[in-house]
Structure 1
């Protein structure tokens, strides 16, 4: 029986009140009052020209692919160490994923390997900010400018994190955030598209509203709306937005609580790192993290699997993370093979994520820590 889960949903304050207000208002479909309040909050906080809530993080990425006019034969550069949604958004448009390896320190896309993947069909570079630590965006921006590619940030794990004081998701032309239940703030599912290039705003609104100019109609800018472009229904319901707003209102206290959990893990497990049993997360000085997760990099896959089983036997659910996309059946269809990206393959087989959620109690965290120590005989 699992007594300490890997993740647990969190009630920050006014979630139920706001959801009831949405129902009482008579509008629970997309783009209601709560959707607008969430979008306004994110625009003001991060200085984004336009934010559009989406039904999920993947939906935001799919919108980004459409906005970048990705099509058959185009190539997209992304890390192999990421979730399938990063690749799917562009493969759905007919593009070919060009995978690159990750850095051994931050586990982010290795910017030194990107240039080798650039070709005449490169359309988009997609940095994935792993664990809320920013990729080396200065170098990636220079590479993108040199080849005429757009940057779409996969900032699914990036809310409140910064790279050289620039909020993640605001650096590329577009940024995709996730509000899945495992994220720092959540509405179960849900996401947001940060539109940093103002020239894309009007088309983004059209794509999100089934390819129609419905948003203009509701603002009174046209007397009827019609089909303008290819699109889909990317909107979340206003019930989701009501739940999300309550979480966003507590964003600072949530981030602080997660910082304490993160720091507790680091302080308690640092002696195991010093003894050579593991490596702990690395945050470069020019990156401000958001304490999204706490992971351990162990010496071997055998040790990793042993720790997972040991924790499970004590009622603690810890988990591994991404499997290399280039070694998946789809990845192999695009030319992936063993040994192609050694850091990705090694990290994927050795990484453990410890339980981490906003309501993780001090006593439960102490149980996790002591269990990890016990596994290593400490």
Structure 2
């Protein structure tokens, strides 16, 4: 591998997992935030996970380089869809997504007792209550339908160069982002921004260099730290008082590091206190079991909202490893590492084929799944299943269309 090819690592999904997992594990290991002592065996699991991400990144980098150089030879041409068809998909998905948002908003407003009370809470220091209570509606049809507007936003951005009316599509993207800010949740806005950027990133591979990758990563990191702090203020979190023991750093930096490292302490606590004596797929294939249980085929799966552990501060997220451990113990944890590195990399190569907008958005979400691996599992979330399913469908549809032509 030549030095100039290192820039292609940024396109490999497992490298995203390696970068974020390593950074926050080092922060956890150094004790920037003071947690309960970590078992040596748990440290070994974390280090093994980092090596899984790193080795698979180098194993796949040439495949991604070849795919990018063979497919993304120009800024963008959407040869397999005419503009009318593309606009139709955008409008249909925006309509479905906004219908879902309205249904969700109706439920939340009703829960809080009316529009005036909801707005008063939204604009107060107690706005975090909206996010907390939103967990009660996480499986509602409104929430699930709202994700279609994310797909529409991604398609809008990918085909923006071909549109004469760019302002209209930009307005739709901004509107989708602002809608999700109302959830008072850090994850949704960052999820949207990251996947939109990653969706169009393959078209820039000829223009970037190793230095540009490093600089872009740095400024994106600073930007998301700022966005994280802004949403924290909106959620009513104090950024003027220190909340945790540890290093003498600013409250906002402390809050950010806690967000990234508490999951490691949670997983360690889980390993030390929970014995797994049976194998099940309750958490890892939750969306599928949720559908089959609604049809009366299987029992209701366990909730994805975990119980809180005090480590010593309360948290309920345990990295992407948590559902694999609770479903099948340590052996299944190692399968989870293999899945998130090798299998997701292979899917990423597949989704980059032919510059399919739906495939690109699915690829972006695979990268996001690994970006957030340090914090919480995303592969068992309904929107990921939705995005990957639609990505696979349209990739197969495109293949058939190309054969017909």
Q: TM-score of the superposition, structure 1-length normalised?
A: 0.29
Higher helix share: 2
- Report which structure shows greater RCO (CA 8 Å, sep ≥6): 2
Q: TM-score of the superposition, structure 2-length normalised?
A: 0.28
